[in-house]
């Protein structure tokens, strides 16, 4: 059920499971079988954060008093992905699907030109490595 729901959300954005670089949630879910199985099947990390860490994220698109009462956090999915990829761009805010919520974030590709090496991952494995002989200054990055 979890895998199918996530696949449906990804499909709406033209994405596939193999493009995920990680799964993130609250530490209350660290032993959740479905998330652990997805992590293992697709060879992607599954990371969790405690409520205090998640609350460091200042803004979210939606809040839930019920979720906050149960977890100590008003929006787990957005806060977790923003903690996992702090400089990323939220491309899919909190979405309720069946018995789960999903948020999707992408790494900030704008910073790639300032790196001397960019490593592209797929299925938890380095797929391509680009060497940049002329990295640009952070001052030249357009945000």
DSSP state letters, 44-84 = --EEEE-HHHHTTS---S---HHHHHHHS-S-HHHHHHHHH
Query: According to the model, what pLDDT value does residue 90 have?
Result: 75
Rounded CA-CA distance 81/121 in Å is 17
Span 75-85, mean pLDDT? 90
Query: According to the model, what pLDDT value does residue 88 have?
Result: 77
Query: According to the model, what pLDDT value does residue 135 have?
Result: 83
- In the predicted model, is pLDDT for residue 124 greater than 70? no
Closest by CA position to 143, among listed 95, 111, 97: 111
Least reliable range by pLDDT among 13-17, 78-82, 117-121: 117-121
């Amino acid at each position: 059920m979890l895998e199918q729901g996530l696949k449906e959300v990804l499909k709406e954005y033209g994405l596939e499971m193999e493009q995920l670089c990680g799964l993130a949630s609250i530490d209350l879910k660290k032993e959740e079988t479905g998330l652990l199985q997805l992590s293992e099947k697709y060879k992607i990390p599954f990371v969790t954060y405690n409520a205090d860490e998640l609350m460091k994220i200042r803004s979210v698109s939606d809040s839930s008093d019920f979720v906050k009462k149960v977890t100590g956090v008003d929006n787990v999915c957005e806060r977790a992905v923003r903690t996992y990829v702090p400089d990323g761009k939220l491309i899919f805010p909190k979405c309720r699907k069946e018995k789960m919520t999903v948020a999707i974030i992408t790494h900030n590709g704008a910073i790639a030109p300032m790196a001397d090496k960019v490593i592209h991952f797929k299925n938890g494995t380095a797929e391509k490595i680009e060497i940049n002989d002329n990295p640009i200054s952070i001052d030249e990055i357009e945000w």
